Amino acid sequence: MTLIKHNRPDSDILGRRFSDILDDFFTDAVSTRQSRFIPSVDVAESEKHFEIEFQIPGMKKEDINVNLENGILTVSGERAFKNEEKDKKYHRVETRYGSFTRSLQLPDSIDPESVKAAYNDGILSITVDKSEKKRSKQIKIS
């Protein structure tokens, strides 16, 4: 019979194997990422405006905040897990819940008064017009 030395977890980092340290690091990184809710965002630009779409399914528009301050567009909110049925036992919950905040720095060429937001079918669509005064123009070299 072979005896194996038992180390208490996290008690002696020098006595642990390098692969064990890496396993703990990646397990913590993945579990932290899975417990957070971060909506996906798409940003597109046309000649006259910017289009920003956040994928936030399962939320009410009253639970979403949109703010533009000093050229920074911030979208925040919270999607709560509602376990209203006492007799229901969940075996798996893969949907992400929790509060979120996403901020995007917009260029100086926007018109802050033109921001429009609409929420439909889980997609928050925000359009921001470009300012006529601040649009860049091509300068021909003579």
Residues 44-59: pLDDT tens digits?
999 899 999 999 988 8
Place of tokens 């929790």: 98
* Alpha helices, H only, the chain: 18-34
Cα separation, 122 vs 59, in Å, equals: 7
Structural domains of the chain ordered from first start? 39-80+98-129 (2.60.40.790)
- Classify each residue of 119-142 as buried b or exposed e, where b means 16 or more C-beta atoms within 10 Å of its C-beta: beeeebebbbbbeeeeeeeeeeee
Is pTM, for the whole model, over 0.75?
no
Report CA torsion sign: 59, 61, 63, 66: positive
Write the pLDDT tens digit of every residue in 86-113.
777 777 777 777 888 999 999 888 988 9
What is the residue type of 135?
R
